Amino acid sequence: MVSQLDIAPTIARVLGITMSTHGRPIEGVEGWGCSDVILIIADSFGWSLYFNYLTDTKTISCLTSTGRLYAVRSVSSRTSPAIASILTGLPPKQHKITDTERARCSTLKSIVERASEAGLKTAVIMEAEGAATFRGLVDIERGVSKSLEPAQFDEEIRRETISALSLFPRLTVCHFLGIDRAAHDGGGEDVMRERALAIDSHVRAICKAARQKTLLIFTSDHQPHAGPFKTEGKALPLILARI
């Protein structure tokens, strides 16, 4: 079964980088001939939310049908440890990153830093404190203020990601927070639908801005903590597609 820990080694193999992780590269993806990778993490985009809106989220649906879809188990119910696992390929017990402060102090190297060290241009676009932990370690680091409203926050992540892509990074990581924030703010089904459709439109815009032969990876960090799609299940969508 594919795991969140397999994402970093899969990216490493596609980019031709050596990286020691607890995961395994997903077989066959390197044969797609991709030279660039974009990893989109949509916070709290759990399996039931994904499945519920699949007919409305046309871009995500299209990526699912042209690429590969996996149901992966989340390794943590919290954002920082889950994203650290996605980026290092290590379980939370091993990377010990529980929050942004620990991420700042950690000497472990993520796939983004490994790629930078290998001479590949890299970009990270996320909320400002998280982005700051990559300062000086990646080529393009863009932070977005958490004080923005969820919809506006995601719009900014999209704008900064597209701006970063104009500089042709080989590896780009971006993190959308709108669904998670809407769920914590008590958003109902109508708000969640709106946020899911917005994510779909952001993914579409990013795909349009990407170079040909890009491996697009779309996934989430954990299940929603609140709202209509809160669930005890741990399955998250992981989509890999060549664009």
Name the site residues for Zn ion (rule: CB under 5 A): 43, 79, 180, 221
Q: Smallest distance from the beta carbon of 180 to Zn ion, in angstroms?
A: 5
107 CB contacts (<8 Å, ≥6 apart)? none
- Taking the complex as a whole, the smallest distance from the CB of residue 220 to Zn ion amounts, in Å, to 8
Tokens 């990778």 found at: 37
Least distance from Zn ion to the Cβ atom of residue 44, Å: 6
CB nearer Zn ion, residue 45 or residue 134: 45
The edge-to-edge listing of strands for the beta sheet with 235-242 is 68-73, 235-242, 214-219, 36-42, 171-176, 122-127, 140-144
- Phi, psi for 125 (deg, rounded to 5): -130, 115
- Least distance from Zn ion to the Cβ atom of residue 122, Å: 22
189: tokens are 């089904």
Shortest CB 1 distance to Zn ion, Å = 22
Nearest to Zn ion by Cβ — which residue? 79
Residue 197 beta carbon to Zn ion: minimum distance, rounded to whole angstroms: 20
Q: Toward Zn ion, which CB reaches closer, 84 or 115?
A: 84
